[in-house]
Amino acid sequence: MSSSYIVDCRMMLRPSDINLGDSHVMAIINLTPDSFYGASRHLSADDACDAVERVVREGATIVDLGGYSSRPGAADVPLEEEWRRVHVGLEAVRKVECGVVVSIDTFRAEVVQRAYDEFGEFIVNDISAGEADDRMVATVARLQLPYVAMHMRGTPETMQSMTDYDEGVVVGVCHYLEHRAKELQSAGIAPKNIILDPGFGFAKSVEQNFELMRGIDALRALGYPLLIGVSRKSMIYKPLAITPEEALPGSLALAWEALRGGDAILRVHDVAATRQIVELSKHYYR
């Protein structure tokens, strides 16, 4: 397996091996049966291995493993089932044996602890910013792991009924993330380990998602690396009256916009195409 983007072929890179403030392509590896985009589902161990090998070859520097679907209306998944799924993904990364940083998409401290005990360092990608599990922030601080704090209201089951922002969505999201970042630091998470995610599609209407994208400079001004996840989401396919399977061009257009004037971690389904966007943006915005 070879790629011009891969320079280290150890089993799993530590997050400290890369600069999280640079632009990165984070590949979505869903280990769930109900993620909104069918092609991102990888349920078997062999399928997960094939997926990891492919996205690394295509230029991903981070793989995001998820065992709990956060699509609107998603049902709860028991802890043991989520861990079983995440463990399949971690074993796949270890088996592929090519240098990539692992991210785990979870809001449960127990999943973080188990993964750390068996596999070592990784990025914690928490859609609840530590509010769904009161042990999460303390666990991340103790383990000194990089932490993605995302803006969301409610739960995946209820979030789309919670889209009223008195001060406007950009101000509301910025205020929340700025306040939450300070709380995370007070709890012992180092500033260098904090990554902010505005939560496109989470408790936001289609129009609010575009307003938030237009306000990306205000998010950058908070001073933390940004994770942007818009790939094939409803803010693309609903206005165009298409399906997620047809939403690649729109996803790439918004990926370019997300990189306007600065770096970002792009969480995507389509690694090779997004890698081209990242490389071109370095020439355009330098």
Task: Report, as residue numbers or ranges, the catalytic residues.
Answer: 233, 267
For tokens 């509301």, name the residue: 172
Query: Residue 228's beta-bridge partner residues?
Result: 266
Tokens of 208: 């609010």
Q: Could you give the CA distance from residue 105 to residue 111 in angstroms, rounded to a whole number?
A: 10
Q: Could you give the CA distance from residue 16 to residue 14 in angstroms, rounded to a whole number?
A: 5
What backbone phi and psi angles, to 5 degrees, belong to 189? -85, 125
Tokens of 232: 């094939």
What is the H or E stretch that residue 177 is in? helix 169-186
For tokens 């070592």, name the residue: 120
Q: Could you give the CA distance from residue 130 to residue 257 in angstroms, rounded to a whole number?
A: 28
- Give 259's Cβ-side CA count (13 Å radius): 26
Query: Residue 127's beta-bridge partner residues?
Result: none
Cβ atoms of 25 and 57 within 8 Å: the answer is no
Q: Could you give the CA distance from residue 261 to residue 281 in angstroms, rounded to a whole number?
A: 9
